[in-house]
Structures are given as C-alpha cells and as structure tokens.
Amino acid sequence: MDQVAFFNHKGGVGKTTLLFNVGLAMAQQGKTVLFIDADAQANLTSAAIDVEAYENALNSDQTIHSCLLPVINNTGDIKAVTPVQIRDRAYILPGDIRLSAFEEILPTAWVEAVAGNYRGFQISSAMFRLIESLGETVGADFAFIDLGPNVGALNRAIMVGTEGFVVPLSPDLFSLTALPSVGKSTSRWVGDWHAALAAAERAELRIEIPLPAGYPSPLGFVNQQFVTYRKAPAEAFRRWIQQIPETYKSGIVDPLAKAEIAIPTEPHLLGEVKNLSSLIPMAQQANKAIFELTGSQARGAQYTRAVDTLELFVLLAEKIEKRLGEVHAK
C-alpha cells in the first residue's frame, strides 16, 4: 500500500475536496482506498460521512484519536479499529479534534528519536504504523491522508512515512509564497529522520516495530479554483499560473532532490480543477463526490458538469498512480 499525503502550508486551496474526489474516482476504477483524516478540523470526515455516522464513530471509539489514545496516555501502543466503510472500495478513519493531544507529545518524541531513544521512535512512528495496519485490514491499495495547513509536528511525523505527496494550490500570491515553506520543511524533516535512523543503527538499538523509510516524493501539484473566460483562465489568475511551475521546482523539487528524494519525471503539473462553484457544497452536503451527484441534487447544466468531473478526477488518479510507479522504480 502507498501512503499519499495531500499537503500545502497554505489553507483554503480545496485540498480536502480534491483528495476526496480523486480517492473515490480511484475506487471507481477498482482500487481500494483508505482515507485518513489527520486534520483536527475533520473536514474530510464531514465530507465523507453524515453527522449520525460520525456520532456512531465517536461513541464506538472508532476515530483517529481513539487509535492513538494509548500512546497519548503512555499506557500502550496504537489501537487498531475497523475503518468506516463509505463505498465498496473506500474506507475512512474519521478525524477527531482531540488529535491535538497526540501532536503535543510529538516534539519531545522526535528529539528522543534523533537521540536514539526507543520510545521516541515508537511515538514518532505511531501514525505510520497505524495507517499501515488499517490499510492491511481493509486490503487498501492506497491511503490518502488529509493534512492540516501547517508545518507542525504531526505533519512532520506523517510526511516521513509517505511514499509521496500532492500539493493542491490556488493560482495566487499566497500559494506561491507557501511552496518554499513546504519544500524547506519537508527536506529538513527527511534529514532529521535519517539522522535518527543512523543514530539508532550506531547505538545498535533493537527496534522491533516498522519504521518509516523517510523518502516522501513530490508527486506534483494541482491548480484549483480558478475562474475561466471563454475556456481560458481569467487574466487575474493567468499571471500566477505562469509562475507556479518554476516556483514549485525551486521551492519543493530542488530541496528534496538535494535530500536524495526520488523525483518523478516532469512536468510537475498533475492537472487543473476549474471553479466548480455550487457543486462543491452540494456534494459535501450529500456526502458524495461531485461526479456522484444525482439529477435531483444537481439539475440541468449543473448535473452535466458534475458528471463530467469524473473524467477529470480519474485522470488525476491515474497520474498520481503513474508517478508513484516512477518513484518506486528509482
């Protein structure tokens, strides 16, 4: 199973919507997808399941916080649960605002791991091992992980466990300025983790749990939420769209290449998602992908547009899978 994070330091770029729709498109193509809501705001969870289903997950200790509670309380290791099935080939580990309690212990654990301390490795690798365990339970081909828009300790622990990550962004100045932060932080995390592994090896530390390899490849970026005029991006956005490829390369690709991370073949652009306006809240309210909306939920031209998005998201899914294949081959 490949762990794939959707990550950007800049919020409000449609990250969760992209992840959910690409994941369900991938499931429609016969792959089994495990969604991991690792953002304490739990937006992915609210998109995937209704309030009643989420309440049941909370009451039955079936959230990401429940899985990590023994680690948080220092009473044991990760606790496996059964992910919530949302489609024939799609599952989700629901998010939980209490996930912040786990993030609070991660900075100390990271320092301990770098110092070659076993407990530090156990805590720092908890998310990686949890996702691997749940993926094995449901027979997942891919785990799609929704990260919060920050470069904090939780994202650090998750990113070093991924095979690759996708960067959703909006064509604006704020997204451009966030890209170097993503690259700088990720390359630093990789260096620290490899130093920790080296320290453990030198100390001949006996670690009997699976540990992340620490090679998150940048799979590419997706331009999102721009308006069009006569099928071309509006002038206000075209300026930023033209600058994104080079900024992505210098801000993310180059730092990770120096950290000896495998880089997929260019171009780094995975695709473009134009402004889908009212279709997004319709889909969120129905707990569906946009292309799953029915004629009674989206009418007339809106329904046609909704159905047409399936081709777009399938294409994005195929490109992500192809680039993962390139990474594995290097």
DSSP 98: G
For residue range 153-177, what is the model confidence (pLDDT) as tens digits? Answer: 999 999 999 999 999 988 878 888 8
Residue 328 is assigned to a structural domain of this protein: no
pLDDT value, residue 230 = 58
Tokens of 324: 């993962």
What is the count of structural domains for the chain? 1
Q: Residue 173's pLDDT is what?
A: 80
What's the pLDDT score for residue 93?
98
Q: Report pLDDT digits (tens) over 127-146.
A: 999 999 999 999 999 999 99
Q: Which is nearest to 316 in space by CA: 26, 2, 12, 7?
A: 26
The answer to whether 143 and 93 are in contact (CB under 8 A) is no
Query: 261 in a domain, yes or no?
Result: yes
What is the CATH number for 165?
3.40.50.300
- For the residues 243-247, what does the mean pLDDT come to? 91
Amino acid at 285: Q
Separation between Cα atoms, residue 48 and residue 154, nearest integer Å: 22
Per-residue pLDDT averaged across 34-57, rounded? 95
Q: Is 253 domain-assigned?
A: yes
Answer whether 153's CB lies under 8 Å from 225's CB.
no
Say what the pLDDT of residue 248 is. Answer: 94
Q: Beta partners for 223?
A: 169, 272
Does a structural domain hold residue 327? no
CA distance 106 to 99: 11
Residue 250 pLDDT greater than 80, yes or no: yes
CA angle (29, 53, 155) in 5-degree steps: 70
Give percent of the chain above pLDDT 90. 74
Q: pLDDT band at 267, cuts 50/70/90?
A: confident
pLDDT above 90: residue 123: yes
Give the pairing type, strands 33-38 and 232-233.
Answer: unpaired
Q: Is residue 76 part of a domain?
A: yes
Residues above pLDDT 70, as percent of the chain: 95
Q: Residue 330: inside a domain, yes or no? A: no
Task: Say if residue 242 is exposed, middle or buried (CB neighbours under 10 Å; 0-12, 13-18, 19+).
Answer: exposed
Which pTM value belongs to this model?
Answer: 0.94
Residue 279 inside a domain? The answer is yes
Query: Dihedral angle at the C-alpha atoms of 207, 211, 214, 220, nearest 10 degrees?
Result: 180
What residues contact 329, with CB distance under 8 A and at least 6 apart?
A: none
pLDDT (tens digit per residue) in 57-104: 999 999 999 999 999 999 999 998 999 999 999 999 999 999 999 999
Partner residues linked to 229 by β-bridges: 232
Q: Is residue 189 part of a domain?
A: yes
Eight-class DSSP state of 146: E
Question: Where does the pLDDT of residue 309 fall: very low under 50, low under 70, confident under 90, or very high at 90 and above?
Answer: very high
Range of the domain at 209: 2-321
